[in-house]
Structure 1
């Protein structure tokens, strides 16, 4: 809460600039915050130019259900980070890592439908959080580009985004 109170103070200080420039500020449900904490902050600021950036996977960082977080934040979302992640288990525990849209464990159909129906935004911004692992920069870049191309194809052909 100390961190959220500091963010509150910073946003309040920035409101005159937001008003002057017409810029809207979207507070993201990053990996260390629950959706309810972001809503608390947005509601406490209570300004039409301050809303949410709903990330479809970040809630997993605090073990919050991604669909629940998207449902809570979508009505306030000026923007989004539409991503998919895969949960893998090995001898050391579990690992949640970025993959191309449709290749992971996030229900992209449900999260897209919630954003489409509930959010005031008119666009989807996909994000690939790629883990290089032991790959060289060149190999990792090629893999990430492939994931981006497959994500665009999935968004268009399967989710029918932009159609």
Structure 2
């Protein structure tokens, strides 16, 4: 399985709503980071929306990726017919064979039937462009509902982008999610996590950890997904616990990247 980095590897450096660095990491900067770290796979998530880039910027991005020998994967949020069509075209233009999609966006939470209808209509376009769409398990729908969507659409061009933490927001544990979604997984988001009891003892908090330093059993997860043979790529993602200032959070993120990559490469589970 090929390991890569993405915009959610560097969430603080790219920027979050209300937390934008003076000089955010952009698409070209991410390519340079990948090369410096020895990676040839980069996934662009919805935190750096490609549809906001100009034609010239997209061309420069695609050309630089080719020059640096980097394979691109495209991601988006908000599964409407218009948005999906737009991102299929963007993915095709960037020679991305994977299009990762989060169904929901702000004030948009479609029904399962609506999602199934949109995806069925998109299958011919996905097939023509030779693109596989990976629905990311997010925190509104249950794993069995994601499986239902994939089964109802019934196309080899649709699968699951399996995130190791998101479904906890829907009250589901990792073992349950993996058992349900591993057979459909076409892309893996490796995001380690920790759970700690709060000081007042009234509840727990889930947050991120560097890969290999949290509760995620990464060798087990990769084994469960790899046996189905559909998943060829994995992306390191991070929920870096913020510091008191954004520059300090970005510095911490860099340290986590180093620690995470060292663990993942030394695990001998991945190629670069």
- TM-score w.r.t. the length of structure 1 is 0.88
2:220 alignment partner in structure 1:
110
Secondary structure at 1:42 match in 2: helix
Distance (whole Å) between structure 1 residues aligned to residue 123 and residue 244 of structure 2: 43
Query: 1:120-139 maps to which residues of 2 (within 5 A)?
Result: 120-132=230-242, 134-139=243-248
Kindly indicate whether the alpha-carbon contact (under 8 Å) linking 2:219 and 2:269 is maintained by their aligned counterparts in 1: no
2:139 alignment partner in structure 1:
31
2:260 alignment partner in structure 1:
151
Change in Cα spacing, 1:69 to 1:119, as seen in structure 2 (3 Å) is farther
2:179 alignment partner in structure 1:
71
> Deviations along 1:56-90, whole A, 9 cap, x unmatched?
11221122120221232122111111111111111
Match of 1:98 among 208, 212, 218: 208
- TM-score w.r.t. the length of structure 2 is 0.55
Q: Which runs of 4+ in 1 moved over 3 A?
A: none
Deviation at 1:2, TM superposition (A): 5.5
Secondary structure at 1:118 match in 2: coil
Q: Which has the higher contact order (CA 8 A, sep 6+)?
A: 2
Deviation at 1:44, TM superposition (A): 0.6
Gaps of 5+ in 1: none
Change in Cα spacing, 1:62 to 1:119, as seen in structure 2 (3 Å) is farther
Aligned-residue CA RMSD (Å): 1.9
Larger Rg: 2
Distance (whole Å) between structure 2 residues aligned to residue 4 and residue 131 of structure 1: 33
